[in-house]
Structure 1
């Protein structure tokens, strides 16, 4: 295998692995492996490829070419070793890049405890990827909404039986007064922030385009603020249980 081709292959493996890690950091695992295990695999696989290719190459060359090849393979091993050592910072860089490209992508703030960030969307709003009873639903941050408000589609994704809802809660909307159905979400999560038994409302069909992340969830946080183009959410200091 040519050196240039091998270098591109190694780069593709590393970048692809970091991308997979970043996209799956909310789930906490990749294909049944923990993030740490998968991160180790990203660097061990290229290392094995380098060692195998190096042995094969040296077996086919003269002494001078072999010494040159040894220097080349040692350099690659050193690069991979450095990459493995700094895999966590590299993963965080990948997460920040994805956070700018993917609306609502949640980024964990390193060293800050239970704190996450979300980049502002191109439309100026903060769309947040929220876990509702295990389903990931894009929601719009709305501090003016007293409650989390779901569309019919979001409620269905969260496992709520729509045919059992009672629309008996009067609410005021931009289109006037209507009635919504009161529900309780078993689990609401944004990255590492998790809250249980969160009151919410389900809007009638056609009344709401995007689910709203309102104060029935936000008021449970230790705090939230907007810093430039980033929304910072601070979860409770201690991990909650049911």
Structure 2
């Protein structure tokens, strides 16, 4: 601890002591109520410290994440609160979040996700069309250098960039069929190779 840190600590302790002294003097006639409020604020403060300290565990429970078991060739994806399964894959080295969509034929990238993966949407030829819940949209065929997780990476995979509005990139059947097993059980999507 440097001399400046020590000086700041002494200043803060003295400031806290002055505030506590003023508080006790100002409320000396109702000390029982003051102690109740002090205990309540102390519990709130301890609860906040506990929440910060346990945030990683809380977050894992509230927003569960995918688990990749590369040595077993298995991926487990928990169902999100909105009922969908979201999978994050590396596309050309960039982590990209997909919604698993068994109703989609192919991998469909948002223009922003394509750009992040090193594909310039402005230079693409949007000559294809796809039928979506929002109607027909124009698409451009691309070949991804690589897509996957850790050791389970596929190379030279065909995908499409969607010119229309979508909330997430789609992971369709052309990619899901690369797995030997696709199972939904107990609120988890299990993919195995």
TM-score by length of 1: 0.52
Query: 1:98 and 1:116 mapped to 2: Cα distance?
Result: 20
- Aligned pair 1:106/2:66, yes or no? yes
Aligned length: 138
Structure 1 or 2: more strand by fraction: 2
State the partner residue of 2:185: 227
Query: 2:101 and 2:126 mapped to 1: Cα distance?
Result: 22
Question: Who wins on radius of gyration, i.e. which is larger?
Answer: 2
Cα gap change, 1:171/1:130 in structure 2, threshold over 3 Å: closer, same or farther? same
- Secondary structure at the aligned position of 1:189 is classed as strand
State the partner residue of 2:108: 149
State the partner residue of 2:167: 209
Query: 1:96 and 1:144 mapped to 2: Cα distance?
Result: 33
- Secondary structure at the aligned position of 1:167 is classed as coil
Query: 1:233 and 1:226 mapped to 2: Cα distance?
Result: 9
- Secondary structure at the aligned position of 2:154 is classed as strand
- Secondary structure at the aligned position of 1:147 is classed as coil
Runs of 4+ more than 6 Å apart: 95-98
Ranges in structure 1 where 5+ consecutive residues have no aligned partner: 1-94, 236-242
- Aligned pair 1:174/2:133, yes or no? yes
Kindly indicate whether structure 1 or structure 2 has the higher relative contact order, using CA contacts under 8 Å at least 6 residues apart. 2
Query: In 2, are the aligned partners of 1:180 and 1:201 still within 8 Å (CA)?
Result: yes
Query: 2:128 and 2:103 mapped to 1: Cα distance?
Result: 17
State the partner residue of 1:121: 80
Query: 2:115 and 2:132 mapped to 1: Cα distance?
Result: 22
Query: In 2, are the aligned partners of 1:186 and 1:196 still within 8 Å (CA)?
Result: yes
Ranges in structure 2 where 5+ consecutive residues have no aligned partner: 1-55
State the partner residue of 2:122: 163
Query: 1:118 and 1:191 mapped to 2: Cα distance?
Result: 16
TM-score by length of 2: 0.65
C-alpha displacement of 1:98? 6.4
Alpha-carbon deviations, 1:59-93, whole Å to 9, x = none? Answer: xxxxxxxxxxxxxxxxxxxxxxxxxxxxxxxxxxx
C-alpha displacement of 1:224? 1.2
